[in-house]
Structure 1
């Protein structure tokens, strides 16, 4: 009976040993810190500074122009009605005052035309057209900078890519080590700067065309109202 017990114990030990041997070897999990957005920017290197400046510049220009153009595109039907009413009643001074007080691109265009009443229609049209060009140039102010940002931001990203590749080879030449620890710094810089440059460039490109479309709508509206004003002046002579 004792012999049977010893044999059983020995067999159990063998089974336990085999089970431990065939179990997969596991390594303790190394806690990985969450990668924060600020850490990513820092890993991008010095190229992130000009890319960040371009991003801030582009956003400032976009919002400043957006609100300016939107203000200029407000409905001016009431202004046109008041000026038409004053001209019909023969109150030229009242029409000029209404146009001056509107403080809008259309108001300044009509004011110049009203001050030219009595001259040939061609002179009035020319005066309105010249003021209109000045007003449009004011609306388009700094929009071209957005186009520049859209063009050079990806180029800075590409510059960061080249800088990251150079860093990888430099680190390898110093350590003669091809491990991921050595090349990860350059890879971070390469990928982060490329992504940042493309992101800023795409956003600036979209904002640039949004503003241009808004300006085109304002121009069309100004031209329509100017034609209506000229037609109003020509009515008595028909």
Structure 2
């Protein structure tokens, strides 16, 4: 019995597992490509934006970030904070928080689906195993002396489904963990920008120092003469 014969004998559950495997491989490949594009090191852009902010202000730094056209989450969070730098101390932080939530959704998209596939695949394999064993017992009920070929059909269905379900679960689990670790590394850069940008903008948002002018103080006298004002 070759591999094709085993697949034919494995029953309909195996085709469901094979379809799930195609979905797992496709999702993992797409997410790996997306994270590779988003995972470019933004350190040089961050340092350049810091220098431009100190020298020329947030507007010039925003123009520098836009000119770089960096699609990384760190660049998008930086762009959101700089674009609100002229609207008060709390506006950049709120804009960066909102941008970071959107970038997290983009980074971790599809990972929960891979986790679900890793949980479902062994259950599908177990279901195929149960169906195969039931088929083997039905052979005993239909004939008193079943042949090895008749028994092998149900047993092979059980074992092939079990193996296929475990293989798909392992692939999905490993891919999910690897992609999550990579997404975490990219998210750390965006978190760094959110924590550092307020300190860049703080010197420009500091309130101006008000110089108090001396107030003349008038001393009261009850002898009819008005003394000159005393200045403190």
TM over 0.5: yes
Give 1:209 shift: 1.6
Given that 1:172 and 1:182 are in contact with CA atoms closer than 8 Å, whether structure 2 keeps it comes out as no
Q: Unaligned stretches of 5+ in structure 1?
A: 1-34
Match of 2:35?
A: 69
Match of 2:11?
A: 45
Q: 1:99 to 1:39 in 2, by over 3 A?
A: farther
Question: What is the alpha-carbon distance in structure 2 between the residues aligned to residue 236 and residue 61 of structure 1?
Answer: 46
Match of 2:129?
A: 161
Match of 1:58?
A: 24
Given that 2:38 and 2:71 are in contact with CA atoms closer than 8 Å, whether structure 1 keeps it comes out as no
Q: How does 1:140-155 map to 2 (within 5 A)?
A: 140-155=108-123
Given that 2:65 and 2:75 are in contact with CA atoms closer than 8 Å, whether structure 1 keeps it comes out as yes
Match of 1:31?
A: none
Higher Cα Rg, which structure:
1
Given that 1:168 and 1:183 are in contact with CA atoms closer than 8 Å, whether structure 2 keeps it comes out as yes
Give 1:91 shift: 5.2
Given that 2:50 and 2:200 are in contact with CA atoms closer than 8 Å, whether structure 1 keeps it comes out as yes
Deviations 1:103-131 (A, max 9, x none): 32222211111111123332211110110
Match of 1:86?
A: 52
Larger helix fraction of residues: 1
Deviations 1:83-107 (A, max 9, x none): 1232223154442233232232222
Question: What is the alpha-carbon distance in structure 2 between the residues aligned to residue 210 and residue 61 of structure 1?
Answer: 13
Question: What is the alpha-carbon distance in structure 2 between the residues aligned to residue 128 and residue 104 of structure 1?
Answer: 14
1:120 matched to 2:98? The reply is: no
What is the TM-score normalised by the length of structure 1?
0.79
Given that 1:143 and 1:211 are in contact with CA atoms closer than 8 Å, whether structure 2 keeps it comes out as yes
Q: 1:108 to 1:177 in 2, by over 3 A?
A: same
Which 4+ stretches in 1 moved above 6 angstroms?
none
RMSD of aligned C-alpha atoms? 1.8
Match of 2:215?
A: none
What is the TM-score normalised by the length of structure 2?
0.81
1:102 matched to 2:70? The reply is: yes
Question: What is the alpha-carbon distance in structure 2 between the residues aligned to residue 52 and residue 169 of structure 1?
Answer: 26
Q: Secondary structure at the match of 2:12?
A: coil
1:216 matched to 2:184? The reply is: yes
Give 1:236 shift: 4.3
Match of 1:180?
A: 148
